[in-house]
Each structure stands twice: as structure tokens, then as C-alpha cells.
Amino acid sequence: MDLSLTKTQKMVQKHIRKFSREVLAEWSLYLDREAKPLPGDIVTAMGNLNIWGIQAPRHFGGADLDTVSYAIVIEEISRVSASIGLGVTVHNSVCLAPLLKFGTEDQKERLAYDLSAGRKIGGFTVTEPNAGSDAGGVQTTASDDGDAYILNGQKAFVTNGGVGDVFLVAAVFDAARKSRGIGIFIVEKGMRGFSVGKIEDMMGMRGNMVSELILDNVRVPKTNVLGRPEDGFKISMQTLDMGRIGIAAQALGIGMAAYEAAALYATERKQFNKPIGTFQGVSFKLAEMKTKLEAARLLVYKAACNKDNGLPYTTEAAMCKYYAPGAALDVCQEALQIFGGYGYVKELPVERYYRDVKITQIYEGTSEVMKIIIGNAILKEFSKL
Amino acid sequence: MLTIAVCIKQVPDTHMVKIDPVRGTLERDRIPNIMNPDDMHAVEMALFLKGRYGGTVTAITMGPPQAAEILEESYAMGVDSAVLVSDSRFAGSDSYVTGKILSRAIAGLGSFNIVITGVEAVDGSTASVGYHLSEFLRMPLITQIHKIDIEEKHAVIERLYGHEYQKIRVDLPLILSVNKNTNVVRFPALADIRTCFEKPIRRMTMEDIGGSEKEYGLSGSPTVVIQSESFVHARERETMNGNIQEKIEDLLVRLKKHNIIRY
């Protein structure tokens, strides 16, 4: 058993870390303060490095990397800006990835190049005002109209909503068939009746234009259905497995940023004529932070490795998505405590880490939903015995 | 079409280097190795020229087998071929012998119209390999490059020193030495990182470049490092007194004295 990174993974880590620190980091404060999207030239620069097509095949302009490398990229970007990390992981894992996995050749030819290059930004939406953890409760409708479906409804809390060009939208085409009556429809910016609603004013992740999407008699051609219509719910669940690895990696990145800031501060800040890190009250906190982050990292890599090796990873993805955000929240909270009053002011980034990290326990499946998934897997395993 | 050779070196990461206080040598244990920072700028210059004028870029390094790592990295940045000049008989070569070995390797690989090096390596800081290459290859060396244009058989180069530019025209082939003031190094794309380990690295030994064992390594090197030691720059602090006008005048005098401003 070898838990070390491959040469490729190490080089990915080194260069994305450098790019994040030298290019992306300077935007993190702006994104948080102004709650504005990332400027287009930065999006393009990221595209030139294949950051919008991390796992897409070469012939669609992607980097064709493995899932561990993918998690590394998300972690490194999220260390400097969780908002940017969010946009990248959602675009890659729950828009481009399912498009490539379930899409027709025509759909891929038409959209994958632009998505891989970041010329188009993608999103994925099941959530509605009345359908959150209960994903089967989708109320947006898709009524059959010859060669198209007519979509009506409202989507909520859509990551990349305000800036996106391509959305995978869950809608009910046959209410009688329950979850098998939910399809995934590729809705593109510019379609008549499709518009962005309210941009959310959020506690954290303020650089991502999370928004409502309004579907008012949007005519979506049948060639824009992802996979078979009746497989929509299944596609969603598989897509979210991948998305969860990304969000866990994002939480890990935020936690790492907070931990490193706190560890450095503990060696510099003096009270009672000693660096505060020499007090066990502080060093024990750091020890716990590091251990939790390492455990989170191993869970993220385990889920990613399983996926790369073609093994089942639904439970592993749920475990890392359950554990990493909780660990990262603890780490951010303790980091803030180590910084004391300085952790609470906006001059330093620690309060931002604390605000940003909380949502990782909520989106892409809440921690509670993760425990349902893990619990069901346990019951299934033991009932077989 | 330009044929460009870029000479690069693997060095210990400068931020982590410590000198053994007793032996006066670099403590290399557990220090990660990186591509020498100035050499990153050399690769960038090569890729910039290739991008603008077309051509091929060959990265060359002399070093132990693990120096192949920086060749892989140069592939990720976009070079076309890579050569590792490695032979245990080269161990201990000083910068003069390094210049000799590299020049023979370069000559053996074919004819290049531009050879690029970093100004200096952070581990030895002799900043002299470029000059040695210039002598051995009988090619002019251009330093302090601010701007470069290639026109047919010559280059027009703006050189920057102090507060002035010098514009020169120089025939190809030539050698350029560059550092962090010359350009901004590109980041490799993930797709190129993904494939850089699969590309071939050509290996050259003493047999490939010719010469005899006594010309190389410690025995061929005129320079011997006797000792290295760390020193600390203590920052000097002075307080200027008087009213604001007097302080400004005092400051101006000091800045002029140190040649920071002239007028």
C-alpha cells in the first residue's frame, strides 16, 4: 500500500498551488467584499491551464487527469479562494462530467470544448424552493411538445447561476412515475423564457453568483435531454457522488488555509513573553486541526482513488463529504480562536474561512443526508450477512 | 525557424537551503530540488521566441540522473525535446568544466542559432556558465535583456542597465542570459503536466561528447570551493530629525549619496 502521490499528482499540486497563490489569491478579497464574479480574463487564464476541463478528454480540450489530481486542484484553489474553488468544482464535476458521461456525441461536440476552455460556464440544478434534501420533490415541469419539452418552474441556490451558460436542470416530465419521471434537461443561456432570478446575498462564498433560475415556458429541444429521460434521477445521484468529492476537497482546502494561518500565527504572536504556540492550549488545538485535516484528506483521496480504479465510491464519497466539511469547520473555528480578536476582524482572512466553510456541510447533500447514505449502506451490508 | 537550446539546472530549493555551520557545505538532505529560478526564465524566453518566430526548443541539463525531473517540467512548460548530460565522471565539475561539457553536448546535438541560460544558479551563484559557453562555442553572449526582436540573421536587443537602455544589433548565432527581470514565466497547463512524463529524454555521457576523463569532474576543475558560510544582512535604521521640510531634504541627500536618485 502506497499513500504517496504520483509524479503527475505532485506536479499538478506544485503548479496549481503556485498559480493559485500568484494569480488567484489577489482576487479572493475582492470577490468576498464586492460579491462580484471573477473577471473574464482570469477565467480565460484558468481555461488556458485546463482548470475548467480537469478530467475532460484531450480531444475535448481537457487535461484528462485522474480524480485524485482533480481533488488536488480543487483543494489548492480553495486554499486561496473558496468562491473560485466552488465555481470550478461545480462546473467540472456536476456539469461537464455528466455531459461527457451521459451526453450524446452531438451534445458533447456542441458544448464540451467551450466548457473545457471556460468559454462557457456550467451548472447543475435539482434544488427548488420546496425541494432540497428531498430531491424527489422537484416541482419544475417538462411537458412533451413534439420535438421539445416545455419547462416551467423555479430553481433555487444554483451555483454559478448568475454567470453560467449551460445548466443541467432536473424537471418532472411524468409525475405518475415518481423518481423515474424526473429528467435532466440541458438548458442554455439565451433560450427564450430562461432567466436568472435573484442573486443570493450570502454569508460566505460571496464570489460565486449563486442564484435562482426562472423557467417560463422554456422550449428545450429533445436533443437536449441528458441520457434517457427516465434516468434523470439516477444520473443526478451519480453526478452528485462525483460532486461530493469536489466539495470535500474544497472544505479540505479552506481548512488547510485556516490551519496554516493559525500555525504561523502561533509561532509569531507573543503573550506572556512567549509565542502562544508554546502554550499547550494552543499547540493541542493545532495538533487536533492537523490530525482532522489529514483524516479528511485520506477520505477524499480514498473516494477519488476508488473512482479512478473503477470501484464503487458512493459510500466513500458520502463519508468524505460528511467528514471533511465538519473537520474543516472545526479547524476554521479553532483557527479563529487562536487568532483571538484578530481572527474576528475583516483585515485578516480567518473570519472569511469561517464564513466560507459552513456551507460545505450544506450543499451537494447536507451532512445529515450523507449520514443517511452511509447508514443505508451499512444496513444493506449487514442485512446480507 | 529558430533552433533554440536552453540550458537548465536542478538546484536545492533556495527557500529551504541551509549551510552546515561546521563543514561549510550545503545541507542537501531532505531539501526538495527545483528548477533553478533564473532557468525558468530562460525556458520562458525560449518558448516566447518559439511562439513568435516558430522553431524548436531543446532543454539541456547536466546533472545526476534525478535531474531528469526538471526536464519533465520543461516538457510541461512546452519544450520540444530534452537532453540529460549525465556521467559519474562529470561529478564535481566547476562552472568552467560545466561550460565545457554543456558546449560539447550542444555542439554534438547539432547547430542552434540561439542558446539561452539563466544568469546564475542559486546553489553556486557563480553566474559564469553563460560566459564559458560563449567562449567554448565562439558565440556572443548578451546579458541584461529587456526586449528582443529577431530579424532574419540577426537579433535587435534592448539592454537595460541602471536607468538607461542600450539598443544593439547582433548576428545569430548568439547566447542570451536571462533572469527574473527579463520576463514572466508561464504556468504549465494541466494537459501538458499530464503528458510530460511520457516524453523521451535523450541521455548523453562522456562517450557522446568526447574528451578524456581528466578534463572533467574535480580533476579538470580549476576552481575549488574552500568554504561556504551563512551571513545575515542586518538592517540599518536611522532616525531623521527636524521638521518635515528638513526631513525631506535630508532624505534627498541620502538618496543621491547612494545613487538611488540623480537630480
C-alpha–C-alpha distance, residues A130 and A233, integer Å: 17
Band the pLDDT of B28: cuts 50, 70, 90: low
d(CA A373, CA B234): 60
* A51 → chain B, closest CA residue: B190
Inter-chain contact A49–B189, Cβ cutoff 8 Å? Answer: yes
Q: For the sheet with B164-171, list strands across it.
A: B145-151, B154-161, B164-171
A128, A212, A334, A364: the active-site residue: A364
The closest CB to that of B193, out of A12, A48, A62, belongs to: A12
Tell me the shortest Cα–Cα distance from B136 to chain A, in angstroms. 35
Question: Å from B83 to nearest chain A CA?
Answer: 19
Q: What is the pLDDT of residue A136?
A: 85
Nearest CA-CA distance, residue B76 and chain A, Å: 9
For B198, nearest residue in chain A (alpha carbons): A8
**Range with lowest mean pLDDT among A248-257, A328-337, B205-214, B227-236:** B227-236
Q: For B70-97, write each residue's pLDDT tens digit.
A: 999 999 999 999 999 999 999 989 899 9
Q: What is the pLDDT of residue B26?
A: 66
State the complex-level ipTM: 0.93
Q: Each residue of B112-163: pLDDT tens digit?
A: 999 999 998 888 778 889 999 999 999 999 998 989 999 989 999 999 877 8
CB < 8 Å to A72, chain B? none
CA angle A92, A98, A99 (to 5 degrees): 90
Name which of A8, A23, A50 is nearest B189 (Cβ-Cβ): A50
Residue pointed to by grid coordinates 480553495: A78
Q: What are the chain B neighbours of A49 within 8 Å (beta carbons)?
A: 187-190
Cβ-Cβ contacts under 8 Å, A55 against chain B: none
For chain A positions 151-190, those within 8 Å of chain B (CB to CB) are none
Which residues in chain B have Cβ-Cβ distances shorter than 8 Å to A96? none
Residue B65 has pLDDT above 80, yes or no: yes
Disruptive mutation site among A50, A60, A116, A308 for chain B (greatest number of B CBs within 10 Å): A50
Chain A interface mutation, best of B72, B194, B196, highest count of A Cβ atoms under 10 Å: B194
| pTM score | 0.90
Model pLDDT for residues B183-199, shown as the tens digit of each residue = 999 999 999 999 999 99
- Cβ-Cβ contacts under 8 Å, B190 against chain A: 12, 16, 49-51, 54, 63, 65, 69, 73
Before B173, cis peptide (omega within 30)?
yes
Provide the angle, in degrees to the nearest 10, between the axes of the packed helices A314-339 and A367-384: 140
The better pLDDT of the pair B28, A35 is held by A35
Q: What is the identity of the amino acid at A185?
A: F
Q: Which residues partner with B194 through β-bridges?
A: none
B-chain residue closest to A54, CA distance = B190
- Going by pLDDT thresholds of 50, 70 and 90, the confidence category of residue B258 is confident
* CB atoms B190 and A54 under 8 Å: yes
- Which of B187, B189, B194 is closest, CB to CB, to A8? B194
Rounded CA-CA distance A9/A26 in Å is 25
| 10-residue mean pLDDT series, chain A (385 residues) | 94 97 96 95 97 97 98 98 98 98 97 97 96 90 97 97 97 94 97 97 97 98 97 94 97 98 97 97 98 98 97 98 98 98 96 98 96 97 85
| Cα gap B186→A165, rounded to integer Å | 28
- pLDDT, residue B263, reads 67
- Tell me how far apart the alpha carbons of residues A151 and A42 are, in angstroms, rounded to a whole number: 34
Q: What is the DSSP letter of A94?
A: I
Say if residues B121 and B38 touch (Cβ distance below 8 Å): yes
What is the biggest distance separating any 2 CA atoms in chain A, rounded to whole angstroms? 78
| Closest by CA position to B196, among listed B106, B68, B105 | B68
B215-236: b (≥16 Cβ within 10 Å) or e: bbbeebbeeeeeeeeeeeeeee
Packed helices A350-358 and A314-339: angle between N→C axes, nearest 10 degrees: 150
What is the phi/psi pair of residue A340, to 5°?
60, -140
Across the interface, do A8 and B76 touch by the CB < 8 Å criterion? no
pLDDT number for residue B17: 66
Q: In the predicted model, is pLDDT for residue B20 greater than 80?
A: no
Inter-chain CB proximity B193 and A11 less than 8 Å: yes
Q: Chain A: residue nearest B70 by CA?
A: A11
Q: Residues of A with CB below 8 A from B73's CB? A: 11
Residue (of B97, B100, B72, B92) closest to B84 by Cα position: B72
Q: What is the structure's pLDDT at B160?
A: 86
Q: Which pLDDT belongs to residue A371?
A: 98
The type of residue at A284 is F
Is A58 part of the contact surface with chain B (CB cutoff 8 Å)? yes
Amino acid symbol at A169:
V
Q: Look at A206-210, A250-254, B30-34, B44-48 and tell me which has the smallest mean pLDDT.
A: B30-34
Cβ separation of A64 and B194 shorter than 8 Å?
yes
Phi and psi angles of residue A169, each rounded to the nearest 5 degrees, phi first: -115, 125
Q: Which residues in B have their CB inside 8 Å of a CB on A?
A: 72-73, 76, 187-191, 193-194, 196-197
Measure in Å the smallest separation between the Cα of A47 and chain B Cα atoms. 9
- Average of per-residue pLDDT values in chain B: 91
CB of A88 within 8 Å of any CB in chain B?
no
CA distance A293 to A108: 37
Cβ contact, residue pair A19, B187, below 8 Å: yes
3-state SS, residue A184? strand
Helix (H, G, I), strand (E, B) or coil at A131: strand
Is A64 in the B-facing interface, judged by CB distances under 8 Å?
A: yes
Q: Identify whether A364 is a catalytic site residue.
A: yes
